[in-house]
Amino acid sequence: MVTHPSLATTVGSLEFKNPIIAASGTFGYGSEYEPSADPRVFGGVALKGTTPKPRAGNPPPRLVETPAGLVNSIGLENPGIDVVIKEKLPQLEDLASAGTRIILNLSADDDNGFVSMAEKCNQASPLDVLELNLSCPNIKAGGMHFGTDPRVVSKITSAVKKATALPIWVKLAPLVTDITVIARSAEDAGADAISLVNTLPALVVDVERQRTVLGNTFGGLSGPAILPFALRQVYMVAQAVKIPVVGMGGISCSDDACAFLLAGASAVQVGTAIFVQPDIAERICDGLSQYLLEKGYEEITDIVGRLAQKD
Amino acid sequence: MAVLHLHTNTARLNTATVEYNHRLKPGLFLLALLNTELATQSLPAQFLTIKVGDTHSPLLRRPFSIFNASKIAGMAPRVEILYKVVGQATRIMSHLKAGDQVSILGPLGKPYPIEGGSPLLIGGGTGIASLHFLARRFLDKHIVPKILFGARTEDELIPLPELGRAEIHLASEDRTVGFAGDVVTLAKEHLPGAHDAVYACGPREMLSALKEVIPSNLPCFVSLEETMACGVGACLGCSVQLADGSYATVCRQGPVFRIEELRW
């Protein structure tokens, strides 16, 4: 009989104490929620999206709630890679020592921007993973999001791969013609894992004032509203690639996390749900342990991809 | 980017029990929550967030200024929240009953600095909440604040029985009670007085109008309200623009700003 199931998982060669990761942009630089929530409970923390130069972000309003969802247009407000490496990462030593993996989410307008940041990260610590944001709906590059073009995804991924020895996760835009094509292009270019989905492009209208609600017109939809769609995309990608998949999109309880693991995700990210319940990682981990006990599994990795195995 | 002082975050995620949920006026409620940490640690202009209901709609926690925090010997430590029913979340809140449990996160944000010996407090609508708490703290220090409290109609002007010793002037835009007009026009009559600090909370338009009439040598602190997601400075969703063009979070770098720090 299973008495102490293990939540430890791996994404490629990297071990995680549990499969719950705070999604980029929802957990700041790891310490903002203290003392109300302990960041060490997370298996990993993906830091706020970082760019080559500081970005002021988009004009407010930046948030609007929609049915079971949240539309945001923060616009990647961040102090830039140099400040993040010099001032933010060193504050994460205790968190890293507690075994929580540190994931730096990077955004740039072109491959040179990604490469220059990746090179700077070679001397940065603590840092375990570079997550390449090829999918932010709130900034534009040449009028097109490059996460929709497999050639651009391939070019950026291989350029960054050459520039760093750190594992690279490529974070994909959800709304493309065939997500498996994009995922395979990242895999072929050397990505260590695929993370998906980013928020869905969205628009909210103030009918009374006959204008858009958000200061930057469009935003990205997150939260429970997107879960079934995100789950489908994760399942499709997990079937299509051999590298690990990190799944996200509307996870707000252990059953949600479980669904992504069953669909083939090796780990999951939680974002909007942190806003609702800052102690969500603890709740999900407790729920997953209970699930493993009830089902008689010794390890969380035993359920990863079970959905496909039953086909 | 502007460097703003951050108040040490002492927020806790907690469960509070509803002591009462009084209807003060049509659509205006005073909710009392029993929670020792909140009651003993909260300061004026700090807020808490409440998870309303246990479904995905409404989704996010809702922020509310603290109207009062009391820790009187022999009584249960409580915080009071003044709220107006404006949407789904506040409508659900209006049905809370004594004994109900709610998830709270707080106290959050930077409090008003308590300065000077002759403060002028200017509140619009439910913006009176944080000023009520502030007035209590001034009275505790034997400083008698002058309070200007305005609203569109008499129905929004709640009684303030615990501020008996303060000098309170009412204003109503529909001219039914007190000064006939908006609270900023009323403020113009009182500003030449010997006040050494101004504290204001209310709708953005009210604060913006106040900016035009505040003498530049008079310290004026405003507390802002914004839609929030995290409440702790992590998501950068509630940002407002500062005078220098950069952005600051209302939840963490605010909600209190000096009036001249902001772009109006």
Per-residue pLDDT tens digits for B5-58: 677 778 899 999 999 999 999 999 999 999 999 999 999 999 999 999 999 999
Whether A97 is covered by a domain: the verdict is yes
Boundaries of domain holding A186? 9-57+73-204+221-309
CATH number for A13: 3.20.20.70
Reduce the DSSP state of residue B234 to 3 states and report it.
coil
Residue A143 has pLDDT above 50, yes or no: no
Amino acid identity of residue B215, one-letter, is P
Chain B CB contacts of A74 below 8 Å: 235-237
Q: Which residues of A touch B (CB under 8 A)?
A: 25-28, 32-37, 48, 54, 56-57, 59-65, 67-70, 72, 74, 77, 79, 223-225, 252, 272, 274-279
Contact of B12 with chain A, judged by CB distance below 8 Å, is answered with yes
Mean pLDDT of chain B: 93
Residue A142 has pLDDT above 50, yes or no: no
- Maximum Cα–Cα distance for chain A, whole Å? 62
Residue A216 has pLDDT above 80, yes or no: yes
Per-residue pLDDT tens digits for A228-242: 999 999 999 999 999
Per-residue pLDDT tens digits for B67-82: 999 877 777 899 999 9
Residue A148 has pLDDT above 70, yes or no: yes
Per-residue pLDDT tens digits for A17-58: 999 999 999 999 999 999 888 999 999 999 999 999 999 999
Nearest-Cα distance to chain A for B154, in Å, is 26
The partner residue sitting opposite B13, judged by closest CB among A37, A64, A72, is A37
Nearest-Cα distance to chain A for B56, in Å, is 5
pLDDT value of residue B73: 73
pLDDT band at B1 (very low <50, low <70, confident <90, very high): very low
Instruction: Please state the three-class secondary structure of chain A as a single string.
Output: CCCCCECCEEECCEEECCCEEECCCCCCCCCCCCCCCCHHHCCEEECCCECCCCECCCCCCCEEEECCEEEECCCCCECCHHHHHHHHHHHHHHHHHCCCEEEEEECCCCHHHHHHHHHHHCCCCCCCEEEEECCCCCCCECCECHHHCHHHHHHHHHHHHHHCCCCEEEECCCCCCCHHHHHHHHHHCCCCEEEECCCEEEECEECCCCEECCCCCEEEEECHHHHHHHHHHHHHHHHHCCCCEEEECCCCCHHHHHHHHHCCCCEEEECHHHHHCCCHHHHHHHHHHHHHHHHCCCEHHHHCCHHHHCC
Per-residue pLDDT tens digits for B87-98: 999 999 999 999
- CATH 1.10.3720.10 assigned to domain B12-108? The reply is no
Whether A4 is covered by a domain: the verdict is no
Contact of B109 with chain A, judged by CB distance below 8 Å, is answered with no
Residue A141 has pLDDT above 90, yes or no: no
Whether A87 is covered by a domain: the verdict is yes
pLDDT value of residue A137: 60
Per-residue pLDDT tens digits for A167-183: 999 999 888 889 999 99
pLDDT band at A2 (very low <50, low <70, confident <90, very high): confident
DSSP B263: -
| Whether B237 and A62 lie within 8 Å, measured CB to CB | yes
Residues of chain B with CATH 3.40.50.80: 119-261
CA distance A99 to A109: 32
DSSP B25: E
Mutant choice from A27, A32, A105, A272 vs B, greatest count of B C-beta within 10 A = A32
pLDDT band at A135 (very low <50, low <70, confident <90, very high): confident
Tell me phi and psi for residue A6, to 5 degrees: -95, 135
Contact B105, B99 (CB under 8 A): no
How far is residue A18 CA from its own chain's centroid?
15
Mean pLDDT of chain A: 94
Whether A242 is covered by a domain: the verdict is yes
Residue A140 has pLDDT above 70, yes or no: no
Mutant choice from B90, B102, B235 vs A, greatest count of A C-beta within 10 A = B235
Tokens describing residue B150: 């305005």
CA distance B213 to B170: 19
| Whether B234 and A79 lie within 8 Å, measured CB to CB | no
Chain A CB contacts of B13 below 8 Å: 36-37, 277-279
Residue A311 has pLDDT above 60, yes or no: no
Are β-strands A20-22 and A267-270 bridged in parallel, bridged antiparallel, or unpaired?
parallel
| Count of domains observed in chain A | 1
| Whole-model pTM over 0.80 | yes
Whether A210 is covered by a domain: the verdict is no
pLDDT value of residue B194: 85
Contact B238, B227 (CB under 8 A): yes
Tokens describing residue A213: 């609600």
Whether A63 is covered by a domain: the verdict is no
| Whether B238 and A62 lie within 8 Å, measured CB to CB | yes
Using CB atoms within 10 Å of the CB of residue B55, give its burial: 0 to 12 exposed, 13 to 18 middle, 19+ buried.
exposed
pLDDT value of residue A263: 98
ipTM of this complex prediction, to 2 decimal places: 0.94
Contact A260, A268 (CB under 8 A): yes
Per-residue pLDDT tens digits for B137-182: 999 999 999 999 999 999 999 989 888 889 999 999 999 999 999 9
Contact A221, A200 (CB under 8 A): yes
Assigned CATH topology for domain B119-261: Rossmann fold (3.40.50)
Helix ranges (DSSP H) in B4-160? 36-41, 88-93, 128-140
Chain B CB contacts of A65 below 8 Å: 58-60, 227
pLDDT band at B2 (very low <50, low <70, confident <90, very high): low
| Whether B13 and A276 lie within 8 Å, measured CB to CB | no
The partner residue sitting opposite B105, judged by closest CB among A36, A61, A223, is A36
Residue B218 has pLDDT above 50, yes or no: yes
Residue B213 has pLDDT above 60, yes or no: yes
Reduce the DSSP state of residue B255 to 3 states and report it.
strand
Whether A126 is covered by a domain: the verdict is yes
Contact A277, A283 (CB under 8 A): yes
Under the phi-then-psi rule, with left for phi > 0, alpha for psi from -120 to 50, and beta for the rest, what region is B45? left
Residue of chain B with shortest Cα separation from A72: B237
Tokens 């929530």 map to which residue? A37
| Residues in contact with B206: Cβ distance below 8 Å, sequence separation at least 6, in sequence order | B124, B127, B150, B182, B183, B184, B200
**Preceding omega of B111 cis (within 30 degrees of 0):** no
